[in-house]
């Protein structure tokens, strides 16, 4: 698929398409430009809304909204009527179906290609496993094959649940380089299980300017509820894109030659992370990004590793997708002949930040079941809870995002 098939499309990690910019290789014309901006804006809105739902919980967070969006788009390929409307509204799928799916395909192709040119790895994969009675419509099969390059396999969920589980887990483990070794278990499958679909994302990149391990040492990290833990704090100094005001500081840490970076959003000592999360909107984030400027900064950032398993059903239900999970009212005719609904939807993420860079992996699985300005010296010391976003700096796609409230857990 060539990038010329669609103007740059976007999602997850978090940043808005910059007004007036045009993606290289994009189709000319106001309509194509508007479609690209609409897709970018919608995916970023979903990313921030999705994060805010999870921010109500305690603890560290790591998510890949891009993975969730792609898996949701695959479910959407077989949805109809009110179910399709709810999915489109919640996920901010505002474009005609072929433009939308083609946009995701162009996004993935371009991200993988640019990562390949730098010293980085960024891989996406989609898989679909069906029982013998589940035959997707020709349109749904075309979308899965053409736009998502999804491998489709027949499995026996009822007769050989262990075999079906092994094949799905093997696929995800291989695609995520072993970081997410298991996403399903035999006991999840019954005689009513019709299909499982999955998306995976794997990311490995070095910082443009690495942290020296010799400068890493144990230092106190201040917890939000009071008290401290001992964290391995990394240090480096140099020019980075930076913004700071009375409420927060932001630094942008680029990865090597691939147009991706990590944003670290640190509340000021007299503010807290929940306040920052509450005010985070696309417009606010866009304003902060526009204010970033090259500044010399002394950076202290903890090494951390986050692993999270998230049940997406209550999250997506609270965001507005109801009918897809309703055994009596789900309208997913494109997926299987007969009535099916989504009875499980799960998101698994593993992410590690070290002196050399970042490694991250994510998977999203969905089960379908039959119904029935430069200062001379600035210090950025992330020794208290903070947010982070891994994003495409060229065009705004949010790949991963989360928060660290305790880097030792």
User: Edge to edge, what strands does the sheet with 357-370 contain?
Assistant: 151-154, 120-130, 193-206, 357-370, 340-353, 304-311
Q: Average of pLDDT values for 115-122?
A: 84
- Is residue 159 within 8 Å of 327, Cβ to Cβ? no
Higher pLDDT, 399 or 32: 399
On the question of pLDDT at 63 being above 60, the answer is yes
* CATH number, domain 3-206+306-370: 3.30.497.10
Phi, psi of 44, rounded to the nearest 5 degrees? -70, -35
pLDDT per position as a tens digit, 297-330: 999 999 999 999 999 999 999 999 999 999 999 9
HSE value, Cβ hemisphere, 13 Å, CA-based, for 161 = 12
Q: Examine the pLDDT at 7 and tell me if it is beyond 80.
A: no
Give the pLDDT score at 38.
Answer: 78
**How much is the pLDDT for 337?**
82
Residue ranges, comma separated, of all CATH 3.30.497.10 domains in the chain are: 3-206+306-370
CATH 2.30.39.10: which residues of the chain? 213-302+374-404
pLDDT of residue 29: 45
pLDDT at 408 over 80: yes
Whole-prediction pTM value?
A: 0.90
**HSE value, Cβ hemisphere, 13 Å, CA-based, for 409:** 15
Instruction: Kindly state the DSSP code that residue 255 receives in the 8-state scheme.
Output: B
For residues 283-305, average pLDDT: 96
On the question of pLDDT at 119 being above 80, the answer is no
Rounded average pLDDT over 54-71: 95
Please state the φ and ψ torsions of residue 39, each to the nearest 5 degrees: -65, -45
The confidence score (pLDDT) of residue 299 equals 97
Are residues 179 and 361 in contact, defined by beta-carbon separation less than 8 angstroms? yes
pLDDT at 9: 27
Contact 14, 44 (CB under 8 A): yes
Task: Mention every residue, 6+ apart, whose C-beta is less than 8 A from residue 380.
Answer: 242, 249, 251, 264, 266, 297, 298, 299, 300, 301
Instruction: Give per-residue pLDDT as tens, 121-177.
Output: 999 999 999 999 999 999 999 999 999 999 999 999 999 999 999 999 999 999 999
pLDDT at 31 over 70: no
Measured CA to CA, the distance from residue 347 to residue 198 in angstroms comes to: 10
Phi, psi values for residue 155, rounded to 5°: -135, 165
> What percent of the chain clears pLDDT 70, i.e. is strictly above it?
90
Which H or E run includes 48? helix 30-54
CATH of 213-302+374-404, one of 3.40.1190.20, 2.60.40.2550, 3.40.50.300, 2.30.39.10: 2.30.39.10
């Amino acid at each position: 698929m060539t990038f010329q098939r669609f103007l740059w499309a976007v999602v997850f990690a978090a940043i808005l398409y910059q007004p007036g910019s045009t993606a290289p290789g994009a189709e000319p014309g106001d309509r194509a430009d508007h479609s690209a901006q609409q897709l970018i804006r919608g995916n970023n809105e979903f990313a921030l809304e999705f994060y805010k739902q999870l921010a109500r919980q305690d603890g560290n967070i790591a998510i890949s909204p891009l993975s969730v969006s792609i898996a949701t788009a695959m479910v959407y390929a077989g949805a109809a009527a009110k179910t399709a409307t709810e999915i489109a509204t919640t996920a901010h799928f505002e474009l005609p179906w072929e433009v939308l799916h083609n946009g995701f395909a162009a996004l993935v192709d371009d991200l993988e290609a640019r990562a390949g040119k730098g010293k980085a790895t960024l891989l996406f994969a989609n898989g679909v496993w069906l029982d013998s009675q589940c035959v997707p419509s020709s349109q749904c099969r075309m979308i899965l094959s053409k736009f998502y390059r999804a491998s489709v396999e027949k499995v026996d969920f009822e007769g050989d649940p262990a075999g079906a589980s092994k094949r799905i887990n093997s696929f995800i483990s291989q695609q995520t380089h072993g970081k997410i070794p298991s996403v399903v278990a035999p006991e999840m499958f019954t005689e009513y299980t019709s299909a499982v679909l999955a998306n995976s994302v794997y990311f490995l990149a070095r910082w443009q300017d690495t942290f020296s391990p010799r400068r890493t040492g144990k230092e106190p990290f201040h917890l939000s509820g009071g008290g401290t833990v001992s964290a391995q704090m990394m240090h480096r100094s140099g020019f980075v894109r930076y913004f700071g005001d009375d409420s927060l500081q932001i630094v942008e840490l680029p990865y090597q030659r691939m147009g991706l970076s990590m944003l670290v959003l640190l509340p000021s000592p007299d503010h807290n992370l929940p306040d920052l999360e509450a005010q985070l909107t696309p417009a606010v984030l866009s304003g902060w990004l526009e204010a970033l400027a090259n500044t010399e900064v002394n950076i202290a950032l903890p090494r951390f590793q986050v692993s999270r398993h998230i049940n997406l059903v209550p999250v997506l239900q609270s965001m507005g997708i109801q009918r897809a999970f309703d055994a009596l009212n789900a309208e997913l005719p494109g997926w299987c002949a007969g009535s099916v609904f989504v009875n499980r939807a799960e998101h698994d993420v593993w992410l590690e930040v070290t002196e050399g860079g970042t490694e991250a992996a994510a998977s999203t699985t969905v089960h379908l079941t039959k119904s029935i300005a430069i200062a001379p010296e600035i210090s950025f010391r992330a020794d208290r809870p903070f947010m982070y976003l891994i994003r495409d700096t060229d065009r705004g796609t949010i790949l991963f995002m989360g928060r660290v409230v305790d880097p030792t857990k």
